[in-house]
Structure 1
Amino acid sequence: MLFKQDRAVDVVTQLQADRSKKTYELINSVLSPGHNVVEVSDCSHPSFGDHITQQYDDSLEKDVFVFHAHVEKDTDRCKKFDRSRTEIKTYGKSPEQVLGTSGETHIYTWLFKLDKNFQASSGFTHIHQIKAVGGPEDKMPTLTYTLRDKNDKKSFDIRFSKFLTQESIASTDLEPFLGEWIMVKEIITYGEEGKLEVTLSRKRDQKELLSYTGNLRMWKTKAQFLRPKWGIYRSLKHAGQLRDEQVLFADFEITQL
Structure 2
Amino acid sequence: MELFNRRTAMRGALAIAATPFAAGVASAEVGATAFTEKWGPNPGVDGLKAFVGIEDDRSNSHPSATHIFAEQDQYRFVMHKSDRDGSDRQRNEVRAIQKNGSRQDMKKNETWRFNYQMYMPSSLKGTTSFTHIFQVKHTGVASPVITVSLFRSGSTESIELRLFGAGQSKLGSTALAPLRNKWIDVEIEIKVGDSGSARFALKDSGTTVVNASRTGIDMWLGGDQAHPKWGIYRSISDSAQLQDTYLLLRNMKAYRNE
TM-score of the superposed pair, with normalisation by structure 1: 0.78
TM-aligned CA distance change 1:5 to 1:39, over 3 Å: same
Deviations along 1:17-70, one digit per CA (max 9) or x if unpaired, are 21xx6xxx7222x333xxxx101116221112x2012446xxxxxx21110001
Q: What is the identity, as a one-letter code, of the residue corresponding to 1:245?
A: T
- Superposition pairs of residues 140-219 of structure 1, within 5 angstroms: 140-162=143-165, 165-202=167-204, 205-219=205-219
Q: What's 2:63 paired with?
A: 46
Q: What is the identity, as a one-letter code, of the residue corresponding to 1:31?
A: F
- Superposition pairs of residues 1-257 of structure 1, within 5 angstroms: 10-18=36-44, 26-28=47-49, 30-32=50-52, 37-41=53-57, 43-48=60-65, 50-55=66-71, 63-72=73-82, 74-76=83-85, 80-90=86-96, 95-96=102-103, 98-134=104-140, 138-162=141-165, 165-202=167-204, 205-257=205-257
Equivalent-residue separation in structure 1 for 2:36 and 2:127 (angstroms): 40
Equivalent-residue separation in structure 2 for 1:156 and 1:5 (angstroms): 29
Residue 213 of structure 1: how far off its partner (Å)? 1.3
Aligned residues of 1:124 and 1:148 also touching (Cα < 8 A): yes
Structure 1 unmatched ranges of 5 or more:
57-62
Deviations along 1:99-153, one digit per CA (max 9) or x if unpaired, are 111121211111110013432322211100111224xxx2121111110223111
Q: Identity over the aligned pairs, expressed in percent?
A: 24
Deviations along 1:157-204, one digit per CA (max 9) or x if unpaired, are 2111116x32222212111211111111122222112221221111xx
TM-aligned CA distance change 1:222 to 1:47, over 3 Å: closer
Deviations along 1:221-256, one digit per CA (max 9) or x if unpaired, are 442111111111111122232111011111221122
TM-aligned CA distance change 1:158 to 1:11, over 3 Å: closer
TM-aligned CA distance change 1:55 to 1:5, over 3 Å: closer
RMSD: 2.6
Aligned residues of 1:195 and 1:217 also touching (Cα < 8 A): yes
Q: What is the identity, as a one-letter code, of the residue corresponding to 1:127?
A: I
Equivalent-residue separation in structure 2 for 1:17 and 1:178 (angstroms): 22
Q: What is the identity, as a one-letter code, of the residue corresponding to 1:38?
A: I
Name the SS for the 2:201 alignment partner: strand
TM-aligned CA distance change 1:120 to 1:221, over 3 Å: closer
Residue 218 of structure 1: how far off its partner (Å)? 4.6
Name the SS for the 1:192 alignment partner: coil
Aligned residues of 1:31 and 1:89 also touching (Cα < 8 A): yes
Equivalent-residue separation in structure 2 for 1:31 and 1:53 (angstroms): 12
Structure 2 unmatched ranges of 5 or more:
1-24, 29-34
